[in-house]
Structure 1
Amino acid sequence: MFFLRVRFLLLVLLFFPHFTCAGGLNNETTQSPGFTTKILGGSQSKSGDWPWMAALLRASEPNTYSAQYCSGVLIDDTWVLTAAHCASGLSSGDIEVAVGIFDLSSFSGTRIGVKSIHIHSQYDTSYFTNDIALLELEQPSTQPPITLFSGESKEKAPQDLSGRMLTALGWGMADGSGGSWYYPEKLRQVDLPVVDDSYCNNIYHVTLITSQLCAGYFEGKDVCNGDSGGPVVTRIDGEWVHAGLVSYGKSCDVYDGWYGVYTRTSEFVDFIKSYVPSARCTTKNQGRPWLLLLVRP
């Protein structure tokens, strides 16, 4: 199946040199030409570092490596957060989820079925705004869930995360030796800074809204095909928190990495909580409550 993936990539580059895909179920994009969602210029993660990481799998494909097409995170024992375009047009029976997975080729855990899919009601397939969805699992995962960044924190991290370094995670296409491209078996990561929206606005000829963020570099480091729905995380209040998820970007094999667009977690806390009230979010200091001392006269 590895060779089928490579052959598909070569056909895409041959006939559509600027066409990119975002990790759709059949490796076909639902995005406009020039938009994509790989870990470029990053490094291999360590097993066990990201226990809430989830791989979205084609249920019809028994080989977990070949089945992976998008990513997500566990936010409660039966709920996974991902991108809307990773679930759009699919039924719950089309998707299985592997939680806590590191190596796609040696995963021995349970592939959990999806009970229901909840795509944001205002998801826009043209501009990929509100690109967020929740997957309810058929059975609980034993892995710990990740905390969501709500925009508030004890350390008073900036709500827009401007200038903050984020870590992106995924199994998307990676750059190999001699200019070759491949899908890695083991989870990879790359650090990307949050930058001003104008970088992405100028590249993609759009105007980002408050629920989106722009992150990355001019070249050399990026996320790409197969990383869609995966998290960008950062350390706040002493723990790794979910700051956003991979939405779209430019074709990495053509542009050698560029700034990408991500869905901002803090703008969707109400949406998430409407389905998953128990999802953990960062909070600000409440301060000490006033103590009322009642002294008998």
Structure 2
Amino acid sequence: MFLICLFLCSFNYFVRTEVVGNGYHEAIGIPAVHKIMGMEGVNRIVGGGPAATITAFPFQAGIVVTLTTKKTSVCGGALISNTRVLSAAHCWWDGESQASQFTIVLGSLLLFSGGTRIVTKDIVTHPNWNVDDLRHDIAMVKISRIEFNNNIRAIPLPAMSDVRQDFSGLTATASGYGKTKDAQNSFPPSTNLHNVNLEILTNDVCQRSFDIPIHASQMCTRGVRGIGTCDGDSGGPLTAIWKNQRTLIGIISFGVGDGCQAGFPSVYTRVTAFLPWIQGNM
């Protein structure tokens, strides 16, 4: 079974997905490091636009992943408290590569420079995460306490009363530092945080694009051609305005492997399905 992990791509206003077997880091994360480092300063989410200031996304976390092989990979995450970042389980263990530590980057439009940088080895993946199942793709990253400011601030989680909400029809925002288009083999000199707005689908509609089951603990965004998520932000946040405040509703997990610009849906871990687990690890 192919695990197709997402990276937010934003160049020419497009966001795309990448296909990977059970080995996200070797197939996507490690190659993306060199591309992102060479691109820091340029737009990258596909179909979206650059974040003008980090204050628009103060909850955004970049994750520089150090693997046990000493290679470097990349992921994304969302700051949910002074000491916790939520990300995807496959960023820590993808079935082939094991991470040894994360460097969490907060308060920066760039992934490899600036901001507050915190090294941690304290990561808890969901006990039922399995790379062949694709469910329970969620991890809690524990960091030393940071003080909030205009550039660094936690994003609210949904309430327990929202558990039955599927959020379909809502416009959500994905954000990240990743690649920008299918044909992009080289990158401009810098890479900025980017964001894109995407419509949330019902799981029934989303299922038509996948051979594997889309479960209730997952959610999807519509893949209009040229708009979606791409190389660089697996584990990153999907947020929406809910009850008058921006709220974390999804974590980037996987997608169809026909290119970021092909127009297929992207799949996320549904945050409301894991609220008890999240609260138990705060």
Q: TM-score, normalized by length of structure 1?
A: 0.71
Of residues 169, 172, 180 in structure 1, which corresponds to 2:184?
A: 180
Summarize the alignment of residues 18-57 of structure 1 with structure 2, pairs less than 5 Å apart: 19-20=19-20, 24-28=24-28, 39-47=45-53, 48-57=55-64
Structure 1 residues 145-204: Cα deviation after superposition (integer angstroms, max 9, x where no partner): 110123636xxx97110111110001121029xx53556610111111111223332222
One-letter code of the match for 1:57? V
SS at match of 1:203: coil
| 1:237 corresponds to 2:243 | yes
CA distance in 2, matches of 1:196, 1:225: 24
CA distance in 2, matches of 1:185, 1:95: 20
Of residues 73, 81, 93 in structure 2, which corresponds to 1:76?
A: 81
Aligned to 1:90: 98
- Structure showing greater radius of gyration is 1
Aligned to 1:216: 222
CA distance in 2, matches of 1:99, 1:223: 21
| 1:122 corresponds to 2:124 | no
Structure 1 residues 93-112: Cα deviation after superposition (integer angstroms, max 9, x where no partner): 4211111221235x333320
CA distance in 2, matches of 1:23, 1:139: 32
245-254 or 217-226: bigger deviation: 245-254
Of residues 128, 137, 146 in structure 2, which corresponds to 1:140?
A: 146
| 1:200 corresponds to 2:218 | no
Contact 1:251 1:257 in 2 (8 A): no
| 1:165 corresponds to 2:184 | no
Change (3 A) 1:165 1:23: farther
CA distance in 2, matches of 1:117, 1:111: 16
CA distance in 2, matches of 1:151, 1:272: 11
One-letter code of the match for 1:53? Q
CA distance in 1, matches of 2:185, 2:47: 12
252-261 or 81-90: bigger deviation: 252-261
One-letter code of the match for 1:121? P
Change (3 A) 1:254 1:236: closer
Percent sequence identity over matched residues?
27
One-letter code of the match for 1:260? S
Q: TM-score, normalized by length of structure 2?
A: 0.75
Change (3 A) 1:83 1:74: same
40-49 or 246-255: bigger deviation: 246-255
| Unmatched segments (≥5 aa) in structure 2 | 1-17, 30-43
Offset at residue 39 of structure 1 (A): 2.8
What count of residue pairs does the alignment treat as equivalent? 239
- Cα RMSD of the aligned pairs, angstroms, is 2.8
Summarize the alignment of residues 246-257 of structure 1 with structure 2, pairs less than 5 Å apart: 246-251=252-257, 253=259, 256-257=262-263
Offset at residue 137 of structure 1 (A): 1.1
Higher relative contact order (CA 8 A, sep 6+): 2
CA distance in 2, matches of 1:170, 1:23: 21
CA distance in 1, matches of 2:116, 2:261: 37
Change (3 A) 1:95 1:121: same
Contact 2:181 2:260 in 1 (8 A): no
Contact 2:238 2:251 in 1 (8 A): yes
Aligned to 2:114: 108
One-letter code of the match for 2:98? L
CA distance in 2, matches of 1:224, 1:141: 31
Aligned to 2:7: none
SS at match of 2:76: strand
SS at match of 2:191: coil
Change (3 A) 1:117 1:158: closer
CA distance in 2, matches of 1:151, 1:221: 31
Aligned to 1:7: none
| 1:259 corresponds to 2:265 | yes
Change (3 A) 1:57 1:23: farther
| Unmatched segments (≥5 aa) in structure 1 | 1-17, 30-37, 61-65, 277-297
| 1:149 corresponds to 2:158 | yes
